[in-house]
Chain A
């Protein structure tokens, strides 16, 4: 039943995008329906996938055995002579780490589609780009071939560029270009490492088949694989028979690195006088830290958020940022656990710093969207801190934080959108006492703010708690980051309470007042469509805050496998 599920999930939006692009303008009203139906279908399929996901089957993140819903077809295999075969697979699959991200993406994209309902400018372009973006985002989370992953990763940029650049606010061009360039710098860094990794990693199964060690690659036993690895180790396999691989799961397995290859752990090669593996790790880390975004690579975020239309902000904050964190887990940390350990202090420090820096910046913002953007920087700092801890709790917390921030930041940007829709103004100082005029909206805002500042009972708390517990434990458990880091990072909690409550107090409490009297007539309370977005989001935020087991059951085995590999590598 779940055989081609992932393919369906990715390609339904793509197909819908084509349909929207090809439908004549006469059917302009149906574009949004198509988008909603396509993403709804993807969401339903995702939920089916999640419910049929067997968490007990997942384990070590460097073994294909722990994957589910695997689809692995050779996509293309190019012979590059002495470079060996350039083999790219259409390789999809989920384990505990990405199934949560897939779920999040499907949810947020669907909500984004609802939020796009009243887009009126150039609808055809908008919806086909939005669907294209959806498709690549979903693909990015389930692709397990580095090339495929990179394809989806890069493919997000263009739709995003146009979505911000055409449908955005006053400084949209600047924001769009800034977003694109920033991310591109990151992806070039990733590309550099991808090329390096590709030259260092081979696929034992295909190599064995190519070298004639066994007949078909279909039914290969572990012994045979070990045998192939042994033969490669001894140099008995001809270089043109070695099939190099982009398989991200293989890349996480030390035994798949060619002996004497550049990034193999045993070689100890150096680049610019530093260990090649360290440099490669740093490149990947920075590449994804830009996406995350962590201090000091975050300055694209406020601009992009402020200028982007509401649904795009929602998708950007809700999902795109998570690709940064997910990418780190799946690539940087998995491929180079030793380097991750070596740099954990640095990562932890930047995580801690981002938390406080983002929060302090949020405190000074006048534009509510910018405030939320900086709060995202602050919250994504927890992801870095949790990952740097290299403990089960820390990594779990990081993933949980990503999931929960996805829901909460989506809600927050929708909130900003509600106000912007009505008055086309987002400055905090222009409002006062909105609670009188918009009581229901105020309730939603209060819930979202408290969820975001990490109040127990909401999903954000679980993520942050786990990060703190894991980060503190790290020092005595594995020695990755010192104990003072999480302790200092707790300051972020106070600051986040500070800026959220201050905003609440300034905008919603006190005497009712808006700067422009003309706004008053437009200030109507929430509409049905808005309820449709807020109610499910808030319900999920609360559900995952009270029953974290729903999500943790999915991820815990994979995280344990992941940290197990980390610990092994450090030893």
Chain B
């Protein structure tokens, strides 16, 4: 039996902790101090980040491939007999993420130096970037669910701050709110997951959870675990359904952060933030944190939970891909594309392809950041054309067109990244997407029946992806520059220039990194060094009874390599590209029809354009419902509940009046009655009506008699 305390005792001192602390300290330092540097903030923060990147590369090289990774554990605080511990785990996924986060963050720092050059609030911007990097590293390095949750929320905070960076724009601050709240909704699930796991295992240390999960079992529909705590045996038992619930609850966290259906609506809005931020947070790292977290808790998910994960991933991938088809805002296209790709990663996790999901995460991080930064270059350069007279939406693809001639470097970078996204061979996207598709296929085969639908959705997304990204390329870079015509200012054309080196270097680096040779010379994901590095022998951890079949078994059954699958996926991608080129080729009718204003009219296109009306549903129905509800409650609180209290007070007053009037009216009335009955005896009526003392006496006597009668009977 497992002794719980073995997991919770701090590890012996390891000098590595200094390195880890330094990794945290530098971005945090940037957060606190960039304000002091005013205009030099980019240099200072960039310097800190560069150091951090070097550190992480060094660490990654040092600890590469160690199984099962280096663990550093300590106690945060204790309450009662329970210790809340923290632990760091440096294993391959963590190290890769470490490098990616720091590296892309560094590139974004560099890129932003130019992009934000004229913004007065630059120090604040760099401070937020520092905070973000710090929080993100927390998710990556900590190996305790509680700490992952903590940094999870902090990442949410920095995302909120960065989306709302231009807080004068109402849309920006609203988008920030939306992002934070949507994430919070997901986090409720995460928190519930923590509650369930804590109740069952009394710890949230992932290392411990993995082993304890393996020790647990289902008995008579109950989820039972025995372990030793301080040498005493403890048996915990919960209803078996809580096992699946825990997995689904944790997944809810990922749904929020990685923008999965039904919480994905915040991500397109988050494009209100500066474009480099979108590249860093809303494409490469933060949104991928959900997937990374799923990989961390992968072993805690049972078959039901995984199924939910797979279905949600597939739905998200398809829905977002459809939505991306008709967007005019270049960042929106990329945003939906991100959602869609995240759907792929989640799908991969759901079908048990932990490695494929992570691999796609890594490749996607580069090419999507590349796409965003390229878009950033375009936006930045177009922004320079804006004058007080000429105002236009710098992100609207309808004003662009033909930019290839003005910005060739950007064009090629964008194109390569796009091809990677579309999943053409020789690009990194191909490798990872192929891995996902193979695993999905194996899973569908294993499950059979309606589950083929999931595979179908995955393949449908391939063609859609190729189409919308090629559409963007065509609209932006081919044909002729539409802005001068639209605004009637032909002289603008000459001013449009390629971005400077500060902008281009990061873009070029990212574009290079979206070629497949970086990750492996072969055409197959199997041979990629990166893919192999994350293939941990996790099968031994997962309790057999919780999942019907392990990934290895599924793959063995369905076959690991299917040429027809690759052919099909490449074919679909090519088909998508060709269709896009045909439709949006220069001079094509559709391309000419834009006047920069019109919204799509066709109802089918509208469904895509308005992203399945999900947002409408949320704001017009759910949010309105909650607000009405809260207004009603406030009314209830003020009028009814408080009213009751006031009513009570008022009743008291009334009672006071009543008792006061008792003499005057009730007794008088009584007197009236007596007077009426004895009216004929004498001229009493008048005298009794107003007789005061006598009324007093009568009331006293009457009460005495009443008392007597009541007492007697």
Contacts and interface: CB of A to CB of B under 8 A. Distances in A.
Interface string A485-519: 01100110111011001101100111100000000
Interface string B142-184: 0000100111011001001000100111101110110011001
Given A299-B642, A552-B78, A472 B630 contact: no
Contacts of A396: 79-80
Given A473-B198, A476-B238, A511-B168, A363 B626 contact: yes
Interface stretch (A10-18, A150-158, A265-273, A454-462): A454-462
A461 B156 CA distance: 15
A157 to B, nearest CB: 17
Interface string A437-461: 0000000000000100001110001
A468 B146 CA distance: 13
A360 B79 contact: no
Given A476-B238, A549-B77, A501 B181 contact: yes
B621 to A, nearest CB: 16
B630 A393 contact: no
B199 A296 contact: no
Contacts of B176: 501, 505
* Residue with the highest number of chain A CB atoms closer than 10 Å, among B79, B187, B629: B79
Contacts of A490: 188, 191-192
Contacts of B631: 364
Given A455-B154, A473-B199, A493-B187, A559 B238 contact: no
Contact of B195 (A357, A487, A549): A487
A433 B167 CA distance: 8
Contacts of A312: none
Contacts of B196: 472
12 contacts: A364-B627, A392-B80, A455-B157, A472-B195, A490-B191, A493-B184, A493-B187, A498-B626, A504-B173, A505-B177, A510-B167, A563-B80
Contact of B173 (A455, A477, A494, A505): A505
B658 to A, nearest CB: 20
A392 B80 CA distance: 6
B283 to A, nearest CB: 24
B237 interface: yes
B666 to A, nearest CB: 28
Given A433-B168, A476-B237, A497-B181, 18 more contacts: A357-B637, A364-B631, A364-B633, A364-B634, A392-B79, A396-B79, A396-B80, A450-B157, A455-B154, A457-B150, A472-B192, A476-B236, A494-B184, A505-B164, A505-B176, A509-B167, A510-B170, A548-B77
Interface string B181-212: 10011011001101110110000000000000
A393 B192 contact: no
| A-B complex: 4 closest residue pairs judged by Cβ atoms | A392-B80, A472-B195, A364-B634, A549-B77
Given A360-B633, A511-B168, A296 B641 contact: yes
B188 A552 contact: no
A20 interface: no
Given A469-B195, A486-B195, A364 B173 contact: no
B633 A357 contact: yes
Contacts of B649: 181
B641 to A, nearest CB: 5
B202 to A, nearest CB: 8
B630 A497 contact: no
B645 interface: yes
A455 B153 contact: yes
B81 interface: yes
A140 interface: no
A304 to B, nearest CB: 12
Contacts of B173: 504-505, 509-510
B114 to A, nearest CB: 26
Contacts of B79: 392-393, 396, 466, 552, 556, 559
B564 interface: no
Interface of B: 76-82, 146, 149-151, 153-154, 157, 160, 164, 167-170, 172-174, 176-177, 180-181, 184-185, 187-188, 191-192, 194-196, 198-199, 236-238, 626-627, 629-631, 633-634, 637, 641-642, 645, 649
Given A393-B79, A487-B195, A511-B168, A361 B187 contact: no
Contacts of B174: 505
Given A360-B630, A433-B168, A456-B150, A487 B192 contact: yes
B154 A456 contact: yes
Contacts of B645: 178, 182, 299
A509 B173 CA distance: 7
A308 B172 CA distance: 36
Contact of B629 (A360, A493, A502): A360
Interface residues of A, number: 59
A131 B160 CA distance: 42
B78 A556 contact: yes
A475 B167 CA distance: 45
A456 B168 contact: no
Contacts of A468: 191, 194-195
A261 interface: no
Nearest to A563: B80
A461 B181 contact: no
Nearest to B623: A498
A257 B708 CA distance: 42
Contacts of A495: 626
A497 B180 contact: yes
Contacts of B153: 455-456, 461
A461 B642 CA distance: 31
Given A361-B633, A501-B177, A556 B80 contact: yes
A368 B170 CA distance: 20
B504 to A, nearest CB: 33
Contacts of B78: 549, 552-553, 556
A456 B641 contact: no
B183 to A, nearest CB: 9
A69 interface: no
B227 to A, nearest CB: 15
Contact of B641 (A178, A299, A393, A433): A299
A549 B77 CA distance: 5
B430 to A, nearest CB: 39
A299 B637 contact: yes
A469 B627 contact: no
A365 interface: yes
Contact of A469 (B198, B630, B634): B198
Residue of A182, A457, A461, A477 contacting most chain B CB atoms (<10 Å): A457
B68 to A, nearest CB: 27
A181 B645 CA distance: 10
B165 to A, nearest CB: 11
Interface in A33-68: none
A438 B184 CA distance: 28
Contacts of A501: 160, 176-177, 180-181
Contacts of A552: 77-79
A490 B187 CA distance: 9
A502 B177 contact: yes
Interface in A394-441: 396, 433, 435-436
B677 to A, nearest CB: 42
Nearest to B189: A490
Nearest to B194: A469
Given A455-B154, A468-B195, A469-B194, A559 B80 contact: yes
Contact of B637 (A182, A361, A461, A548): A361
A501 B77 CA distance: 31
Contacts of B81: 392, 560
Nearest to A508: B167
A457 B152 CA distance: 11
Nearest to B151: A456
A560 B80 contact: yes
A444 B184 CA distance: 22
A511 B157 CA distance: 22
B536 to A, nearest CB: 28
B640 to A, nearest CB: 10
